[in-house]
Amino acid sequence: MPPRFAPVLFGFILSALMSGIVSAVAVLRNLGLVDGLPGIWINAWLPSWAIAFPTVLVVAPIARRLVGRLVKAPASPAR
C-alpha cells in the first residue's frame, strides 16, 4: 500500500479497535455473559464503527493541531 494511505489506514484501524472495545464493554456491562453475545456485540459494533471511522478522519487533523498548540516545540540543538 502506498504511504499516502497511511493516515486513512491508521484511522481505519484505530476506529475499529476503539469502537470494538467500547461496544464490547457496553454490551457486557448491560447484558453480561449471555448466549449469542458475539452476534449481539457485532450488531452493536458495526453501526458504531460506521460512525467512528469517518469521524476519526474528520476529527484527527483538528486533534493534531490542538496537540501542536498544547505541546512545546522541541528545543533547537545547541551549536
Evaluate whether residue 41 is within a structural domain. Answer: yes
Evaluate whether residue 5 is within a structural domain. Answer: no
Task: For 2-60, write each residue's pLDDT tens digit.
Answer: 999 999 999 999 999 999 999 999 999 999 999 999 999 999 999 999 999 999 999 99
Full-model pTM: 0.74
Q: How far is CA 63 from CA 6, 25, 37, in A?
A: 17, 25, 34
Evaluate whether residue 45 is within a structural domain. Answer: yes
Evaluate whether residue 13 is within a structural domain. Answer: no
Number of domains in the chain: 1
CB environment 56-79: b (16+ within 10 A), e (fewer): beeebeeeeeeeeeeeeeeeeeee
pLDDT at position 76, please? 74
